[in-house]
Chains A and B, each alone.
Chain A
Amino acid sequence: MAKVLIPTPLRQFTGKQDSVTVPGGTVGEVLSALTAQYPDLRKQIFTDEGKVRSFVNVYLNDEDIRYLGKDATQTKDGDTLSLVPSIAGGSTVAAPPGPVGTQAALSKEEILRYSRHLIIPEVGIEGQQKLKAAKVLLVGTGGLGAPLGLYLAAAGVGKIGLVDFDTVDFTNLQRQVIHFTSDVGRRKIESASEKMKAINPFVEIVPHEVALSSENALDILKDYDIVVDGTDNFPTRYLVNDACVLLGKPNVYGSIFRFEGQATVFAYEGGPCYRCLYPEPPPPGLVPSCAEGGVLGILPGTIGLIQATETVKLILGIGQPLVGRLLLYDALGMKFRELKLRKNPECPVCGEHPTVTKLIDYHQFCGVPQATAAPPVQETKVNEGEIDVVELKQKIDRGDNFVLIDVREPHEYKICSIPGAKLIPLGEFPKHVGEFDPAADIVIHCRSGMRSAKACAVLRQNGFQHVRNVVGGILAWSDKVDPSVPKY
């Protein structure tokens, strides 16, 4: 049983009633019952073949049934069905989106290359031409960007833009399979373009070697059909989201952490955006990045390829896009789960009354300082309350009476440590404050100096006078004191 709201022009067929309540447990049943009761409505809603007319959208309460279970969507008493036409137009006869022009015609070589696509009925020549005509922007050529770049190039996406300004380092190689050992030190964008070109010389690679910012994002994104977010930080994630919403471009999203990943498609055809899911960024430091928390090297492969699959589906217009659904992947349990995402009518950027109508300062919004290239360790300034690794070494060698605390995790301690350091992971640190003499000379270190700075602050709040943070952490120790200490 459901109430069907009748659009004005159709009320002549329902005895002037503006709504009709008809039985049925699914949307399909309700519509059948409706047109059985009012046969003149049938022609309005269904084609002669019994399919819902192309201009008719069916809404269950406020949701398009295409994003629910289509005809099979369950209805219950009190539900309201609305029939809403889809309407568009324009003064000129423009080519439909997803252009299949002569420039997208496939050469003999391309037909051979893409033959395994061409023989799938859902793709075929037409689909492959859509891929060739498509313009996709990959934001980031790291963990997620690597499989995305390789597979989208191989699949024949005609134009692929790459945004990255980083260089390849040794810690990337465990997962960023587009970069090889011989690429360490090279610009990522150059290394990635080279591999993609080698896989498929028929695709055009457009490098954007910049940090995506509020100033340049709209300009860069506007030339692409689809944006794929392969970033690992909140400011850029919000920036990509807002720019996609403002430009009306789908944002194929993925994120990874240790053994878990997420993927969805934001800002697509009335679906939710990233801000509908997370209106506010988490407090800085709460959610660790891959550099801070680590990641299973294979994980970005899995998530990146889900993003690649969704990208190709959007281009081809086939299947059910991952819209309004957040796919959660747990590698340890080897399980996929799905959360339903709803568009938030009060969303500040894609809601009914948006307050964000242009790009903002995302570093400020996320409460994190502007990302700058890490200064070389040699130039690091030592402020009050800090100690340089060289001075620490002298202190140890002199046999000074002081306490050295390492606030990293036990598994990090196993990789390397500074002699004489007492291990107290940051999470347990507050419990141990009482074990130290507030008058003692205390030096604290971690990997790079971030966590130890927090531990120092904890001690100072408890009245400790002589607490110093090791600038640059054990990474600086490796650089300046003992090169045999491995960096990680």
Chain B
Amino acid sequence: MIRIESEPWAQMVAHARETYPNECCGAMLGSTDGEQKAVRAAIRLRNVFEGAQATRYELRPEDLLAADKAARERSMDLIGIYHSHPDCDAYFSKTDLQNSCPWYSFVVLSIQKGEFHHANSWLPNFDQSEAVKEELIY
């Protein structure tokens, strides 16, 4: 289960709406207690995908490293990655899966016609062949 506090959640939704019609991406910081994850802060990261960003995003490892550092400095952990799907459901696409990592929760926000519609959190496996839905509370 992953619970996103209201402040980071509002920031994530705002980020996704501002970036519409392109995809946004960012990091979620917080703490983990067994299967229970709590997101207490969100950090916007740059979508560095070369090409049409309406349907793709890419994170720079350096940016992720910086997010991880920021988390440590604030006594939090990097626990997840979020990105948006403009005018598209919050499913975990094949592209998402093939470029994922089993270490984190992946929250997908569906933005339809510029407004937040729904969201899901996903946990991909090692082989990047499958992702299971994780309970998401916001």
A residues near B (Cβ < 8 Å) are 5, 7-10, 18, 43-44, 53-57, 59, 62, 64, 82, 84-94, 97, 247-249, 270
Bound form: Cα–Cα A55–B97 in Å: 11
Nearest B residue to A43 via CB reads: B126
Bound form: Cα–Cα A395–B75 in Å: 84
> Which one of B2-10, B77-85, B113-121 is at the interface?
B77-85
> B70 in the interface, Cβ–Cβ < 8 Å?
no
Given A82-B65, A92-B95, A270-B60 in contact, is the A87-B81 Cβ separation under 8 Å? Answer: yes
Q: How far is the CB of A96 from chain B (nearest CB, A)?
A: 9
CB pair A9 B104 closer than 8 Å: yes
CB pair A89 B78 closer than 8 Å: no
Closest 8 A/B residue pairs (Cβ): A89-B96, A90-B56, A85-B101, A8-B77, A88-B99, A88-B58, A9-B103, A91-B85
Instruction: Please name all residues of chain A whose beta carbon is closer than 8 Å to the beta carbon of B95 when the two chains form the complex.
Output: 88-94
Bound form: Cα–Cα A43–B103 in Å: 12
Instruction: Please name all residues of chain B whose beta carbon is closer than 8 Å to the beta carbon of A247 when the two chains form the complex.
Output: 50
Nearest A residue to B87 via CB reads: A91
Contact with A along B55-83 (1 / 0, CB 8 A): 11111111011001001100001110101
Given A88-B49, A248-B50 in contact, is the A7-B78 Cβ separation under 8 Å? Answer: yes
Q: How far is the CB of B93 from chain A (nearest CB, A)?
A: 6
B residues near A (Cβ < 8 Å) are 23, 32, 48-52, 55-62, 64-65, 68, 71-72, 77-79, 81, 83, 85-86, 88, 93-97, 99-104, 106, 126, 128
CB pair A85 B93 closer than 8 Å: no
Instruction: Please name all residues of chain B whose beta carbon is closer than 8 Å to the beta carbon of A8 when the two chains form the complex.
Output: 32, 71, 77-79, 103
Bound form: Cα–Cα A8–B104 in Å: 9
Contacts across chains A and B counted by CB atoms under 8 Å: 113
CB pair B56 A84 closer than 8 Å: no
Instruction: Please name all residues of chain A whose beta carbon is closer than 8 Å to the beta carbon of B79 when the two chains form the complex.
Output: 8-9
Q: Which of B59, B71, B126 contacts A87 (CB 8 A)?
A: B59
Q: Which of B49, B68, B88, B128 contacts A7 (CB 8 A)?
A: B68
CB pair A91 B103 closer than 8 Å: no
Q: How far is the CB of A142 from chain B (nearest CB, A)?
A: 28
Sampled A-B contacts (15; CB under 8 Å): A8-B77, A9-B32, A10-B103, A85-B61, A87-B64, A89-B99, A90-B85, A90-B93, A90-B95, A91-B55, A91-B85, A92-B56, A93-B94, A97-B50, A97-B51
CB pair B59 A86 closer than 8 Å: yes
Instruction: Please name all residues of chain A whose beta carbon is closer than 8 Å to the beta carbon of B96 when the two chains form the complex.
Output: 89-90
Instruction: Please name all residues of chain B whose beta carbon is closer than 8 Å to the beta carbon of A62 when the two chains form the complex.
Output: 62, 65
Nearest B residue to A59 via CB reads: B65
Q: Which of B57, B65, B85, B96 has the most CB of A within 10 A?
A: B65
Q: Which of A53, A82, A89 contacts B68 (CB 8 A)?
A: A82
Given A54-B128, A92-B93, output 4 extra A-B contacts at Cβ < 8 Å. Answer: A9-B103, A85-B61, A88-B99, A89-B57
Given A8-B77, A57-B61 in contact, is the A90-B55 Cβ separation under 8 Å? Answer: yes
Nearest B residue to A53 via CB reads: B126
